[in-house]
Chains A and B, each alone.
Chain A
Amino acid sequence: GAGVSQTPSNKVTEKGKYVELRCDPISGHTALYWYRQSLGQGPEFLIYFQGTGAADDSGLPNDRFFAVRPEGSVSTLKIQRTERGDSAVYLCASSSLGLAGGPRNEQFFGPGTRLTVL
C-alpha cells in the first residue's frame, strides 16, 4: 500500500517568505508527527497530532511555526517569515492506534521535504 508522502520534495525560498509543507499519512493512521532534521543531526520532534488536534506541540521552536490537520488526515506545516536557520529536511511520520488507544510504537516516515532558505 501507499506509504507516507510529502510534497514538495524540495523547496527553495528567500528569507522572510512564507512556506507550507504538506504531509499525506498512511490511510487510517490517526497519529501524525512532524520532525526536523538538520545536516549531520538526527531528526528532532516538532509536533504530534492525534486525529485533528495537536496533542503535543512542545517541539515547535517558536511562534513562526504552525501546523494543522483539519480533517484528521493530511497535515500542513506552515512557517512564517522564514530564516536561514530554518533550512533543514522536514520529516513527517504516521502510526496507527494500539490496543490501549494511543499510537503504536512504530512510526512510518515519509521521504521528507528539503527546505532551503536563501
Chain B
Amino acid sequence: GNSVTQMEGPVTLSEEAFLTINCTYTATGYPSLFWYVQYPGEGLQLLLKATKADDKGSNKGFEATYRKETTSFHLEKGSVQVSDSAVYFCALSDNTAARKLTFGKGITLSVRP
C-alpha cells in the first residue's frame, strides 16, 4: 500500500536559518504530493502541492520538488521565521476516484528568535 516517511523530529532552528524537512514516499502509479501545516491551535492547512514529476510547489517562501527517481518531496525554506513554528505533514493522494490522503507522522518545527 501507499506510505509516507518523514524525518524524525522535533526540529529547532534559529530565525533566518535554512530549513530542510525530508519526505519520501511509496506508492503505485503517479500520486500527487502535498505538504500540510498545522499551526498551534489551528486546523490542517494545505501549504503546497505538486501533481507530477519535476513539478515544484511553492508558497510562503517554502518549496518542494516532486522527485520521482528518488521518490522524495523534501520541504525547504531559505530563511525561517518564528511564525513558521508549526507541525508539518507530508502527504500523498493516489489517483483513484477517492483521492484519499496518506500522511506521514508529521514533524514539529520550533523557530527561536
Q: Is the CB of A43 within 8 A of B43?
A: no
The answer to whether B104 touches A42 (Cβ under 8 A) is: yes
Please report the total number of A residues contacting B with Cβ < 8 Å.
Answer: 30
- Contact indicator A109/B43 (Cβ below 8 Å): yes
A109 touches B45 (CB 8 A): yes
Given that A41-B105, A105-B51, A105-B93 are contacting pairs, would A91 and B98 also be in contact in the complex, using a CB cutoff of 8 Å?
A: no
A33: Cβ under 8 A from any B Cβ: yes
A105-B100 contact in complex given A42-B4, A42-B105, A112-B43, C-beta closer than 8 Å: no
Interface residues of B: mostly helix, strand, loop or mixed?
Answer: strand
* Contact (Cβ within 8 A) A103 B43: no
Which A residues between 24 and 53 are near B, CB-CB below 8 angstroms? 31, 33, 35, 40-45, 48, 50
Q: Which residues of A contact B45 (CB under 8 A)?
A: 109
Confirm or deny: A72 has a beta carbon within 8 angstroms of a beta carbon on chain B: no
User: Quick one: CB contact mask for B1-37 with A, threshold 8 Å, 1 for yes?
Assistant: 0001000000000000000000000000000101010
Distance in angstroms from B40 CB to nearest chain A CB is 13
With a cutoff of 8 Å between Cβ atoms, the chain A residues found around residue B102 in the complex are 45
B44 at the binding interface (Cβ < 8 Å): yes
B105 / chain A contacts, CB cutoff of 8 Å? 40-42
27 contacts between A and B (CB under 8 A): A3-B43, A4-B43, A31-B99, A35-B101, A40-B106, A42-B4, A42-B104, A42-B106, A48-B100, A50-B97, A55-B98, A56-B97, A56-B98, A59-B100, A95-B99, A102-B97, A103-B99, A104-B99, A105-B49, A105-B51, A105-B99, A106-B49, A109-B36, A109-B44, A109-B45, A111-B42, A111-B43
- Chain A residues in the interface with B (C-beta under 8 A): 3-4, 31, 33, 35, 40-45, 48, 50, 55-56, 59, 91, 93, 95, 102-112
